[in-house]
Structure 1
């Protein structure tokens, strides 16, 4: 987080009277997710006189940036000069990722760029401090070495005119290695800037002595100074305070462990909830898909049922016509059968009479009997042929009658099958309707 706003001409805001704060990167809890987004926090309308815990009026807007954006990180330092924000150091997701690269963000177009520097930059480190010094120089102090995980008390200077890294010679009693400390730049009576260091962490909490780093000459000779030499009482109090701080740190570590465990539980619960939501969503999608498939099957079944009913109506009509024709044909056959029977009744005596005539012996001397025999011989073949035709007609009539009966029986069987098919389809249709209504309920 870096404050670049101010009040009126005394500030460094992009617009006069604007009071803003740029928020960059950091870590998001409880997921421990590193970020590299940019937000503008405007707190110019906050009522600082309010006694409430939550105050209104602040606005926070996320900005869209471009260019060579830094990777997500935390523990970096920043400074603002020439309407640009500079970012250096920090911890990334990958421990071996180098963070000793200088990035700058232009306030004009919100575009990131990597600054090409000369000289030897400090190793990758995090939780250090930086401040704008004299003669367009930036001074960096302390931090946690990302490779060795040890605190450092190194001092590095970056000249902004040519972006040259250097390490000045230091004199005096140096401040101890530390990170997570506080620092600020102040001006003395001679308008010379000095860096003030306070607090921080090493293996334990560092002392709360103020350490001042100032420049003694133009050759970048830096000298450390402690504001007050501690007395024996102060040393004893400091030792007791250190023990208390150490105990408090242990308690804080235990609380952090508990918090970490709770975070893990929350993360696990969140993952389980997401998994449950995904399964629920999948089940809902499958259920919706099944419902759509059932509706489609129901529609197809309805269409088939309607088509089958139309076909059955046509079949019933044809069967009815066929029955009428068969009935008419049966009537005609019966009439023909009666006629044939009558003819047969006439022909049988005639046939018997003709047979007797053929069996009679004729007197060859009698002219009448000779003529009668000649007449019988002439009609004999005709009578035999008529009798054969009569027999053939009776045979055909019998076959036609049998064929008609077979056709009627087949029609009745087909009609029964179609009736059973329609009944079965109606049952399936009613069952699907019932299942669909139950699922909808």
Structure 2
């Protein structure tokens, strides 16, 4: 039988979902349970923290970008491998984009799809009994889901806890825990969110501290009792989310190139593809025994000087691209371009395999889902293939150059199709991260 699951969510961003989720995951692992984490939405940083907290793989569940078959496959495989799935919501519980019921990208969609109860994290700073009214609104807003308890966060004092708990008692919602304000429990951040798991100093010591804090402040027995069996209405087996770009894929992997959705890599491996990592920051070229190269997103803007000076990497990448496909997403797309201007305004020469020029000195947040139609045959599919993806970056394009567009993209809010990315010979790239093929069917 599939393991049980529950969703940790909140009325809004910044309530402490990630901190509490990681602490719960780690605390339950310390109890000897097999725990799996999953992340609602397109966030690409949190799953790596889940994996560190649980010692097991994590992945994303995105009701807007993924078809039901893929959602069922990811959630089902996690549940089958665990005693409990502790999933983390994104933004507010009901926040999403325009779309069909159940396919808006909201965390509530995932709770409803999987049959998971919701534990609500409420930041009670600046309020007390009124937090009960907020929780009551969440309980009544969507009849598809069931909120089974609340964890109070940022509690200022014992009196504050009693008052906030009284508000929850009035609406009949059990208080499963209460955490005090504690700055040392906050994980370090940078411009795209948390500093990545692999770069967070003393990560496991921090996770152990979170687990200890959660164990002291939260009723873990009540959390376990609240979880319910995972209910999936669709098959747990299907085609990979994206086609593998080759049988042996050279994939850049270091502090500058660190982001690929876990479900994408899992899908590639399931088709028999082999992923061969290499490090541009260590001046390693793509391995010659590979038949495609993938430059993921990450933080090349923080390492532009080192990348520009990595002569073996750049020469090897150019040589690789003469005979085999190369694709870059977000940060990888920036490195495929002519120049990258860093935060100080210094321009660094990049691979010059595409004509785009980008700047991190001129910053503007670009954030949101994309639906893209490929304009030519390539590593992600044939011309006309539609993809869903997500874009999140602060770098700007200072010159798009004269390359043909990689795709025509729209957003869920009715934007007109617009060219995105670039393609030249066997090289392609774009700022959006592809999540899955889009067929128009849920």
Q: TM-score range by the shorter chain?
A: under 0.3
Q: Which has the higher strand share?
A: 2
Q: Which has the higher helix share?
A: 1
Length-normalised TM-score, structure 1: 0.22
Q: Greater CA radius of gyration, 1 or 2?
A: 1
